[in-house]
Amino acid sequence: MKTVKRLMCTILAVAMLSVILTACGQGANDPTDTLIFAQGADPRGLDPAMVDDGESSKVIVNIYEGLLQYAKDSTKLEACLAESWKVSEDGLTYTFNLRKGVKFQDGTDFNAEAVKVNIERQMEGNATADMSYAGFVFGTVSKVEATDESTVVITLKEKNTAFLYNLAMSLAAPIVSPKALKDNNNNVNEHPVGTGPYKFVRWDKEQAIVLVRNDDYWGEKAKTKNVIFKIIKDNSARVVALNNGEVDMIDGIDATVVSQIESAGNKLDQPDGMNINYMAYNTTTPVFSKPEVRKAFSQAVNVPELVKSLYQGYASPADSILPSFVPGYAKDVMQVTYDPEAAKSVISAAGITSVHVITYSNPRPYNTANGQALAEAIQGYLSKVGVTANIEVFDWTTYKEKVKAGDYDICFYGWTGDNGDPDNFMALLSDKDPSMNVSRYDNSEYKDLIAKGKATPEGPDRDAVYAQLEKIQVDQNPWLLISHSKLLSAYSPKIQGYYYHVTGNIFFSEMTKTK
Amino acid sequence: MGNNALTNPDERLLTVLKYIIKRLIFLIPVLIGVSIIVFIIMRVFSPDPAPIVLGQHATQETVNTWREANGLNNPVYIQYLSFIKGVFTGDLGTSYYTKTPVLKEILARFPATIELAVMAIIFASFFGILIGTISAVKKNSLFDSAGMVTALIGVSMPIFWLGIILIIIFSGTLHILPSSGRINPLLQPPTVTGFYLIDSLIAGNISAFGDTLYHLLLPSLALGMYSMAIIARMTRSSMLETLGQDYIRTARAKGLTEGKTIRKHALRNALIPIVTVIGLQLGSLLGGAVLTETVFSWPGIGSYTVNCILKSDFPVVQGVVMLVAITFVLINLVVDVIYAFIDPRIKFSKKEDA
């Protein structure tokens, strides 16, 4: 009897389970209503002032907006919450006319006072040490005034044209509802409220973030109702999820999975990223104190060939420190070209037979291969001109310490841009801090031009300054430029209007999805 | 408890209670030891959290302010004492990286780990005991060999590899099961317990319940495989031993059916070591499902802890390790108590507690 009962229970349970399993699988919702994007890590938080990572900013740009924004495929500036702006003659006073009738997603008004609150919480004295970008974005601000409901006047301590670019950034600059800040003890990491096309619904840690269309948005309303950010840590699992149709878009992929993605019928998006991958000569060592020698070494390396074989087409050889979409990029400045014969004669005349090279073992955003592979490729080129490169490899954390210590002839480094302003890249070679300026390059002409660029208002005059700086970089050659790595992301053919910006952010409001 | 050896159930209950309290008191030195070890390991072997938290624009000055604000400039024993003080007042500190209270971060993830571990252990115990028992009863048969080869594969196969293979087969090729996550986020029931199976039943949302099960299948299979193999092997050897006992022969001689003999006499007596193994396995599944969680993007405590170790998020790592230690000890305690119910010969007297 007992056995029969037990058997019946089991059969019943199995039957129920199979009914449930067949019933589910497809959710109740219309699938074209929801865009699903998978990224590799949880955001650090959703308060623009409190975070410093790309995973956070991809969510932030869909919830919040700043006073300015970047153009669609470059880092040129456009109006956003500020309709127009004016910079005073002395370059110290910025007046912003704000867009009227804009509301935060909690129903409160966006106005000059809100801007003031947002900037003041990040100014010196109010900012906490862990507001990573407060100093970078607002460090030069001396005061903010709300002169009327829709006018904000910001006064700077010193001229800084890059300040406008900072205001379009996805970190620190986006405007948060002052009410939300007040209600959440000045930290909206888990309760984001902005003015953007999507509003926050829910965040299940390390699982998913759900956004829904902001129906009161001031501009053109988002085309698709729901957006889900899924957190899928493992790179290959993310690819499987895309190919399996569980998600519509993924990023954080590398060249090795491209064929897998394309053979499943999905599409690849690959704009150049806002970064530079370079090899630095230590200009303070006897070997590399002369620009001719540095140039000769650069001539010994066939950069286009190297980039092609190392990055398989997913990075472009760099012809300038600046990526081509950053204002100030000078088309006519050319790097030294490959000429091993000329290189050999200069190097042997200088009597250099070996160099001490240090590099890193991890892949970096600007060098997806990793520092060791890059160093070894260069070692091969150098051996052809009679130079032995002795390579030492360290993990990234140790490596940074080694670079700071300065015991090397050649090291490898890179930079990911913050604000799309040319100064952000070019000023590296004038920085006092040797962990930024790893060539330890010290040139007063260069420094003067950097200062001039900061003080010159936007326009052709300023672009000319950076063109001049780019020329100095070629003539003086403190760096051998390698590549700008591309931003790889992939999406299903069901998605229309896919938009992954060069700053590494993804904007959903104009995307739609078919069945 | 019908065949209880002790005549007075009240007295027996009292002994059990005393035993439990004693074991709970033992928890304190264990926790102190664990906390000291993790505290020292994190501070000696991890890089300074300040530059990681503050990002690429950190200056020496902000690093110092931040270290000061988080008490990292104090001597280690002062830091330790303030941590212990926090533990006793229920305050585990806040995560350096996200500024969220550690307890909240843990509670947001621990149910996911428990749900997966429990599913995995149910799967492992059911099939493990089944395979082990049949293998023992039909010793040296084809089923026995097949079962033990399966167990050998289960023990030897790295979980993450199994997980990836399952994903490739069921998600990548057949497209019948999801490869990641706990549930379709749009179906998610309101959080009450954090266990989606329970929450969806509370909300009366049957499709959410189904979707949760659907998402649980692959990861619990991958995670439970190793435990299943261990349990199957343990069941087999333990059963073989009991099957050779005199009382089994007696039972058979009495004319008991073979099925009853095996279930009531052999299996029940063989169960003690099996329960121990199940308990230990559950404990380690709760603390160490790191690889499974990573492969299946399971939002649990394991992969989170690894991330926090890499980011030198001391308060979180300390909190999680304490939690896992407590869980492990408690599960062992529960297992020990369960023994008494399975085997009345075990008493909680002074000499015998282990």
The beta-carbon neighbor of A50 closest among B58, B99, B182 is B99
Within 13 A of B268's CA, how many CA atoms are on the CB side?
Answer: 15
**Mean pLDDT throughout A120-127?**
92
Report whether A419 contacts A431 (CB < 8 A): no
pLDDT higher than threshold 50 for residue A142: yes
* Structure confidence at residue A256 (pLDDT): 83
Report whether A483 contacts A311 (CB < 8 A): yes
Contact B296 A237 (CB under 8 A): yes
What residue of B is the nearest CA neighbor of A210? B185
Q: Which of B45, B54, B56, B106 to mutate to test the interface with A (most CBs of A within 10 A)?
A: B56
Backbone angles phi, psi at B349, to 5 degrees: -85, 170
Three-state SS across A112-162?
A: HHHHHHHHHCCCCCCCCCCCCCHHHHHCCEEEEEEEECCEEEEEECCCCCH
pLDDT band at A3 (very low <50, low <70, confident <90, very high): low
pLDDT band at B2 (very low <50, low <70, confident <90, very high): very low
Q: Name residues 220-249 of chain B within 8 A of A (Cβ).
A: none
* Structure confidence at residue A10 (pLDDT): 66
pLDDT band at A6 (very low <50, low <70, confident <90, very high): low
Residue B62, min C-alpha distance to chain A (Å): 5
Residue B294, min C-alpha distance to chain A (Å): 6
* Structure confidence at residue A38 (pLDDT): 95
Residue B117, min C-alpha distance to chain A (Å): 17
The beta-carbon neighbor of B100 closest among A189, A230, A234 is A189
* Structure confidence at residue A385 (pLDDT): 94
Q: Taking CB atoms and an 8 Å cutoff, what residues of chain A touch B175?
A: 244-245
**Mean pLDDT throughout A243-251?**
93
Q: Taking CB atoms and an 8 Å cutoff, what residues of chain B touch A50?
A: 99
What residue of A is the nearest CA neighbor of B209? A20
Residue B1, min C-alpha distance to chain A (Å): 19
- Distance between CA B195 and CA A153 in Å, rounded? 51
Residue B210, min C-alpha distance to chain A (Å): 5
pLDDT band at B349 (very low <50, low <70, confident <90, very high): low
- Distance between CA B29 and CA B20 in Å, rounded? 16
B66–chain A Cβ distance below 8 A for any pair: yes
- Distance between CA A399 and CA A163 in Å, rounded? 32
The beta-carbon neighbor of B109 closest among A38, A190, A206 is A206
Please state, for a pLDDT cut of 70, what percent of chain B lies above it: 94
Higher-confidence residue of B272 and A113: namely A113
- Distance between CA B9 and CA B27 in Å, rounded? 27
What residue of B is the nearest CA neighbor of A261? B172
Contact B168 A240 (CB under 8 A): yes
- Distance between CA B57 and CA A51 in Å, rounded? 12
Contact A237 B211 (CB under 8 A): no
What is the per-residue burial (b if ≥16 Cβ within 10 Å, else e) of A389-420?
bebebbeeeebbebbeeeebbbbbbbbbbbbb
- Distance between CA B300 and CA B304 in Å, rounded? 7
pLDDT band at B262 (very low <50, low <70, confident <90, very high): confident
pLDDT higher than threshold 70 for residue A19: no
What are A370-384's pLDDT values in tens digits? 899 999 999 999 999
pLDDT band at A421 (very low <50, low <70, confident <90, very high): very high
pLDDT higher than threshold 50 for residue B4: no
pLDDT band at A23 (very low <50, low <70, confident <90, very high): very low
The beta-carbon neighbor of A20 closest among B206, B294, B304 is B206
The beta-carbon neighbor of B294 closest among A17, A207, A233 is A233
Average pLDDT score, chain A: 91
* Structure confidence at residue B347 (pLDDT): 61
Q: Taking CB atoms and an 8 Å cutoff, what residues of chain A touch B172?
A: 240, 243-244
pLDDT higher than threshold 50 for residue B5: no
B57–chain A Cβ distance below 8 A for any pair: yes
Contact B186 A245 (CB under 8 A): no
B214–chain A Cβ distance below 8 A for any pair: yes
**Mean pLDDT throughout A47-53?**
92
**Least-confidence region, from A161-170, A234-243, A461-470, B284-293:** B284-293
**Mean pLDDT throughout A58-81?**
95
Query: Which tokens sit at A279?
Result: 């090899």
**Mean pLDDT throughout A132-156?**
94
Q: Which of B184, B213, B320 to mutate to test the interface with A (most CBs of A within 10 A)?
A: B184
Contact B66 A207 (CB under 8 A): no
**Mean pLDDT throughout B244-253?**
88
Among A483, A284, A293, A475, smallest CA distance to A385 is for A293
Q: Name residues 82-101 of chain B within 8 A of A (Cβ).
A: 96-100
The beta-carbon neighbor of B295 closest among A52, A136, A234 is A234
B46–chain A Cβ distance below 8 A for any pair: no
Among A460, A461, A481, smallest CA distance to A470 is for A481
Contact A189 B98 (CB under 8 A): yes
* Structure confidence at residue B230 (pLDDT): 93
* Structure confidence at residue A8 (pLDDT): 58
Average pLDDT score, chain B: 86
Please state, for a pLDDT cut of 70, what percent of chain A lies above it: 94
Cα Rg for chain B, rounded, in angstroms? 24
Contact B57 A44 (CB under 8 A): no
* Structure confidence at residue B351 (pLDDT): 47
Report whether B183 contacts A253 (CB < 8 A): no
Report whether B162 contacts B225 (CB < 8 A): yes
Q: Taking CB atoms and an 8 Å cutoff, what residues of chain A touch B186?
A: 27, 29, 34, 210, 226, 228
Among A182, A229, A176, smallest CA distance to A202 is for A229
The beta-carbon neighbor of B181 closest among A129, A207, A234 is A207
In this complex, how many residue pairs, one in chain A and one in chain B, have their CB atoms less than 8 Å apart? 139
Higher-confidence residue of B348 and B128: namely B128
pLDDT higher than threshold 80 for residue A212: yes
B142–chain A Cβ distance below 8 A for any pair: no
Q: Taking CB atoms and an 8 Å cutoff, what residues of chain A touch B62?
A: 129, 135
pLDDT band at A27 (very low <50, low <70, confident <90, very high): very low
Q: Taking CB atoms and an 8 Å cutoff, what residues of chain A touch B47?
A: 397
Query: Which tokens sit at B40?
Result: 């020292």
pLDDT higher than threshold 60 for residue A25: no
The beta-carbon neighbor of B213 closest among A20, A50, A208 is A20
pLDDT higher than threshold 60 for residue A105: yes
- How is residue A367 annotated by DSSP? B
B74–chain A Cβ distance below 8 A for any pair: no
Q: What is the pTM of this model?
A: 0.84
Q: Taking CB atoms and an 8 Å cutoff, what residues of chain B touch A132?
A: 53-58
B185–chain A Cβ distance below 8 A for any pair: yes
Q: Taking CB atoms and an 8 Å cutoff, what residues of chain B touch A28?
A: 187, 207
- How is residue B170 annotated by DSSP? I
Widest Cα–Cα separation across chain B: 85
Contact B213 A189 (CB under 8 A): no
**Mean pLDDT throughout A33-41?**
93
Higher-confidence residue of A328 and B188: namely A328
Please state, for a pLDDT cut of 90, what percent of chain B lies above it: 27
Q: Name residues 286-325 of chain B within 8 A of A (Cβ).
A: 294-297, 299, 303-304, 307
Widest Cα–Cα separation across chain A: 100
